[in-house]
Amino acid sequence: MAAASSFTVAVMGLGYVGLPLAHGFLASGVRVIGIDNDPAKPEALHAQPIRPYLKHLGQTVYGELAAAARAGRFLATTDAGYLADADAVLVCVPTPLDEEHRPDLSYVMAASAAIGRTLRRGQVIVLESTTYPGTTREEFLRPLLAARPEWKVGIDYFVAFSPEREDPGNREYSTTQIPKLVGGLDAASTRAAADVYRRAFTTVIAVESAEVAEAAKILENTFRAVNIALVNELKGVFGAMGVDIWQVIEAARSKPFGFMPFYPGPGLGGHCIPIDPFYLAHRARQLGVPSQFIELAGRVNTNMPGKVVQVTLAVLAGVAGAGPLRDEIKGRDGRAPRVLVMGLAYKRDIDDVRESPSFAIIEGLAAAGCLVDYTDPHVPATHRMRRRDLGMKSVEIAGPQGAARLAEYDAVVISTDHSAFDYAQVAAHARLVIDTRNAMAVYAERMGSRLVKA
């Protein structure tokens, strides 16, 4: 690590965005205070030895965090009073949706209120949590203004937005190698925030305003959501024509310009892509501006787990020669069908389960009367989440015992295509496979009717 510095950064939220951000600043020699409402995170980071809770970051990162903690350069705590010690405060708290798919800014507002209680002159305050344009100026700033009404933004303290661009599991770009957009509420705030990030990031790009930075992040993720919705819809259209969408995409990507491949799946996961289009659509409705294209894409992607459930139930009903799906599907020997969902994480080779479509698939199959298990080498057990607590443990399917276990299920649904899975073993022993990721393509001829793409 670089030599110690007296400059101190506070990172609010030590999850998938905040923890790698904290590590990036520590690696540059900056002192870091990490604040999280969940006491388990600070406890894990100060344990001897340190307890990794985001395994995709790797042992090297956790080793450096532990070394910084021992040297007194890294403090993880639940006490927001330490914000007073920071020269810059970077806010990386959740921005989820409520049950009606409306933005929930309660975490952002609570963070801003906490900062307001300790705000001091010269502090740089930056929101990184993805949200709709205008949030930093109209919502996030309000508690700060209330706390110090006599102070002026851009003179006494500085406020900006800088969108997180984390991609868990991406081995090509580390956090500080990804270009960092920064937009302030005024020119002085933009300069101050950009100077903070230049301490750790290779490339910092100052933009015209906080609203431009907010909109850029929304555009990045809405672009992906819309294109994923397109291929998800085309999967059904081409499927009805007897054409494999995966082969179509492979053919189309041979064009060296004007085409970018996106791939269908069981639904979207992670914190950004399933959520950001709804934030943008919400803001558009407030302004009376139609955003039908964006809202339609959101509905297409949100409905994908339900379609996987429908396909699975239909195939099970066909195998059993049954009648109405919900009441009549049966497994072998007339009992409730047993289904194994492969993969709980939202994408391959990580342990991130935020907004994973696998949860909706499990719940949908269980509601239809199936007995459902899951297997995921990266997620040995489920944990309590904001809206879910399945209380399940991963089933082991590796090795000879795993082969026998696979054969016990009436259907196996591949929801996440982890590279650790033995797909040859799945092809050999699974009675029926519902493949949402094209993971079994090389075994398609061998499996015949036992393989169904969904």
Q: Annotated catalytic sites, by residue?
A: 272
Residue 231 contacts residue 267 (beta carbons within 8 Å): no
Q: What is the CA radius of gyration of the chain?
A: 24
How many CA atoms are closer than 13 Å to the CA of 440, on its beta-carbon side?
30
Long-range contacts of 364-367 (CB under 8 A, 24+ apart): 364/305, 364/306, 364/308, 364/309, 365/309, 365/312, 365/313, 365/339, 365/341, 365/413
Q: What gap in Å lies between CA 206 and CA 184, rounded to an integer? A: 9
Q: What gap in Å lies between CA 321 and CA 4, rounded to an integer? A: 70
Sequence-separated (6 or more) residues with CB below 8 Å from residue 173: 167
Beta bridge partners of 373: 340
Q: What gap in Å lies between CA 154 and CA 123, rounded to an integer? A: 10
175 by DSSP, 3-state: which? helix
Q: What gap in Å lies between CA 214 and CA 210, rounded to an integer? A: 6
What is residue 336's DSSP assignment?
A: P
Q: What gap in Å lies between CA 53 and CA 15, rounded to an integer? A: 9
Nearest partner of 392 among 358, 432, 349, judged by Cα? 358
Q: What gap in Å lies between CA 214 and CA 187, rounded to an integer? A: 16
Nearest partner of 90 among 5, 167, 142, 21, judged by Cα? 21
Residue 122 contacts residue 195 (beta carbons within 8 Å): no
Reading phi first (left if > 0) and then psi (alpha if -120 to 50, else beta), residue 230 is in: alpha
Residue 309 contacts residue 361 (beta carbons within 8 Å): yes
